[in-house]
């Protein structure tokens, strides 16, 4: 029985132990726990099952197959890299929360029944919010509340679907589902945690507000556990293909517009998860392999990118691109390590993103989905444009603003170096990743035509960036997104309702007080609310408005990407 201890239990019990251990000893224990969990994952084999009787229900907190093993390995690796990076900067609360978060995510990928899945899902939501609150600012406190409300709402949708499904079928097995109203609720719960637009705004709202190390952990688990759940429960659902494509493009557009470099990378998580969701929707063995491989690589290179931007925030105290610049020599090694993550995410040959993303693209091609293929390639153009070019240019090469960085702890560099090494090794030896995938892989990412095609796209994107360099300077701006509906709209609505209350005017001599007709008051209230919408307010502003140029620059960027793509395919 001991050989079937769920890997999640090691991290969850370890998180409880971390509550009483502080300082370097706590940091060392946090470092050891994912190593032990990784060894436990390695000891498991497809077909291993741990069944537990629970008040008449047969639960399976551990059920192993090739899909769960692939996610299990990378979840443990992410916990280790995050612990190295945060060794000197994380407090006790962060260590406990991050370890419990990683453990519950491991619980999700090895859960064989829906009730176990739900329990781990809720622990994941509760633990992760403390990584936002641990930053200790008023902004982080509000963002954490919004994040928690959304995650708990998604959990309740999941629970409602599970109960309904059980009532109809008498089964709690976590397998591929037919789409019926009950399972649609389950799928929507997964989609919310995957940050599928318009259910996505919690991610760029909450992740940048977390601590420096906390954001690295957040990028690894919530959305990838959701990708795993979709791949397990809903492979081949056509709707997911188009939701994934929309995610890939939506995240890229908003990343191009963003000023805060950590928020930019938050939007780009949405874009990259879009590739995975689209692959799950295609549903073929090659596509599921692509979704799994891209989730694996994304955890590594996105973690590295957020480590780099977190190091900048730690060193200079800001993550706004409009306040950064001139850091090339001052933060040379941060730039070098960041760029390894940037070329990985941009699908440069010889790095991890190329061998994973091309699997998804190949799956779309083999399945005859030409439009999907073109749109995913277009999203790749945007990826290199903002993450590989715009962000490092504005952060490191832009005008020197006289920032004097404080020292960055050596363990932060160590975490970045290990993540950079992992991304490089996987790119050079793709078999290391392909051997972990759920299905046999018969694919060569380094076929000459694939390398040439990708190199052309990257070259022309870089050329377009250079030609438009004057247009990509960072500007202080805020992009309008769907989070407006729960961050601002309720307060505007309350103000509108208050405005509808009749106010008595002094009665005219010899007559009754006059009240404007209700339709007049309603029209006035509507006009006032609409007039306060951010987009309308900015449209009224002068041409120096911070939002108007945002949309203009975004339109120019997307148009350039379309031209570049057309040239490449001709």
pLDDT at 477: 58
**Closest to 83 in 3D by CA, of 214, 203, 262, 225:** 214
pLDDT at 257: 81
pLDDT at 190: 97
DSSP lists the bridge partners of residue 57 as 54
Q: What is the token pair recorded at 114?
A: 């829906």
User: How much of the chain is in helix, strand and coil states, percent to nearest 5?
Assistant: 70, 5, 25
User: What does each C-alpha distance from 514 to 212, 485, 507, 522 come to in angstroms?
Assistant: 59, 35, 7, 16
Decide: 305 and 342 in contact? Cβ < 8 Å: yes
Sequence-distant (≥ 6) Cβ neighbours of residue 137 within 8 angstroms = 209
Report how far residue 114's alpha carbon sits from residue 141's, in angstroms, rounded to the nearest whole number: 32
The residue written with tokens 């090794």 in the block is: 425
Q: What is the token pair recorded at 519?
A: 């339709």
**pTM, rounded to two decimals:** 0.84
pLDDT at 565: 47
Degrees to nearest 5, angle at CA 215 with 214 and 217: 65
End-to-end CA distance of the chain: 60
User: What does each C-alpha distance from 198 to 188, 449, 563 come to in angstroms?
Assistant: 12, 37, 28
Strands 49-54 and 57-63 come out as antiparallel
**Closest to 115 in 3D by CA, of 174, 157, 170:** 174
pLDDT at 470: 60
- The domain locations on the chain are 1-232, 235-478, 484-501+518-569
Q: Tens place of pLDDT for every residue, the chain, 570 residues?
A: 457 889 999 999 999 999 998 889 999 999 999 999 999 999 999 999 999 998 888 899 999 999 999 999 999 999 999 999 999 999 999 999 999 999 999 999 999 999 999 999 999 999 999 999 999 999 999 999 999 999 999 999 999 999 999 999 999 999 999 999 999 999 999 999 999 988 888 999 999 999 999 999 999 999 999 999 999 999 999 999 999 999 999 998 888 888 899 999 999 999 999 999 999 999 999 999 999 999 999 999 999 999 999 999 999 999 998 899 999 999 999 999 999 999 999 989 999 999 999 899 999 999 999 999 999 988 888 888 888 888 999 899 888 888 999 999 999 999 999 999 999 999 999 999 999 999 999 999 998 888 888 888 888 888 877 777 665 555 555 666 776 666 666 667 767 766 665 544 454 444 444 455 544 544 455 445 444 444 334 334 433 433 334 443 444 445 444 544 443 444
**Closest to 387 in 3D by CA, of 340, 423, 457, 419:** 340
């Amino acid at each position: 029985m001991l050989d079937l201890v769920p890997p999640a239990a090691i991290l969850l019990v370890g998180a409880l132990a971390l509550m009483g251990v502080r300082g370097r000893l706590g940091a060392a224990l946090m470092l050891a726990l994912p190593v032990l969990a990784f060894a436990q994952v390695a000891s498991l084999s497809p077909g291993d099952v741990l069944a537990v009787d629970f008040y008449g229900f047969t639960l399976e907190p551990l059920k192993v197959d090739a899909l769960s093993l692939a996610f299990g390995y990378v979840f443990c690796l992410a916990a280790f890299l995050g612990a190295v990076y945060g060794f000197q900067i994380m407090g006790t609360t962060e260590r406990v929360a991050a370890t419990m978060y990683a453990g519950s995510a491991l619980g999700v990928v090895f859960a064989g029944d829906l009730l176990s899945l739900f329990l781990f899902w809720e622990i994941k939501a509760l633990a992760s919010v403390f990584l936002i609150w641990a930053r200790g600012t008023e902004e982080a406190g509000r963002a954490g509340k919004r994040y928690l409300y959304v995650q708990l709402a998604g959990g309740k949708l999941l629970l409602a679907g599970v109960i309904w499904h059980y009532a109809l079928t008498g089964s709690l097995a976590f397998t591929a589902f037919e789409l019926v109203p009950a399972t649609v609720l389950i799928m929507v719960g997964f989609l919310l945690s995957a940050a599928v637009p318009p259910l996505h705004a919690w991610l760029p709202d909450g992740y940048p507000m977390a601590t420096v190390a906390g954001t690295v952990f957040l990028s690894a688990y919530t959305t990838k556990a959701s990708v795993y759940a979709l791949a397990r429960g809903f492979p081949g659902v056509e709707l997911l293909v188009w939701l994934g494509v929309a995610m890939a493009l939506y995240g890229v557009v908003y990343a191009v517009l963003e000023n805060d470099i950590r928020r930019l990378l938050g939007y780009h998580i949405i874009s990259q998860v879009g590739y995975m969701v689209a692959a799950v929707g295609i549903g073929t063995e090659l596509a599921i392999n692509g979704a799994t491989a891209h989730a694996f690589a994304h955890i590594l290179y996105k973690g590295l990118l957020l480590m780099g931007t977190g190091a900048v925030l730690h060193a200079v105290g800001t993550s706004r691109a409009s306040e950064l610049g001139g850091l090339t020599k001052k933060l040379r090694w941060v730039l070098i390590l960041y760029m390894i993550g940037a070329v990985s995410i941009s699908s440069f040959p010889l790095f991890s993103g190329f061998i994973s993303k091309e699997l998804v693209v190949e799956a779309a091609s083999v399945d005859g989905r030409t439009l999907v293929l073109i749109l995913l390639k277009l999203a790749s153009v945007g990826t290199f444009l903002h993450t590989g070019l715009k962000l490092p240019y504005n952060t490191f090469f832009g005008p020197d603003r006289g920032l004097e960085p404080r020292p960055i702890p050596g363990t932060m560099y160590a975490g970045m170096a290990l993540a950079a090494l992992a991304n490089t090794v996987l790119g050079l030896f793709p078999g290391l990743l392909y051997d972990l995938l759920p299905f046999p892989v018969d694919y060569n990412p380094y076929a000459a035509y694939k390398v040439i095609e990708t190199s052309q796209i990257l070259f022309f994107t870089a050329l377009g960036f250079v030609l438009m360099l004057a247009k990509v300077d960072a500007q202080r701006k805020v992009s309008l997104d769907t989070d407006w509906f729960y961050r601002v709209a309720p307060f505007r609505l309350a103000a509108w309702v208050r405005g509808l209350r009749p106010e008595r005017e002094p009665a005219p001599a010899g007559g009754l007080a006059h009240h404007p007709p209700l339709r007049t008051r309603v029209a006035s209230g509507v006009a006032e609310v609409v007039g306060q919408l951010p987009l309308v307010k900015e449209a009224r502003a002068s041409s120096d408005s911070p939002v108007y140029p945002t949309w203009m620059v975004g339109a120019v960027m997307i148009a350039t990407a379309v031209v570049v793509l057309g040239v490449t395919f001709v």
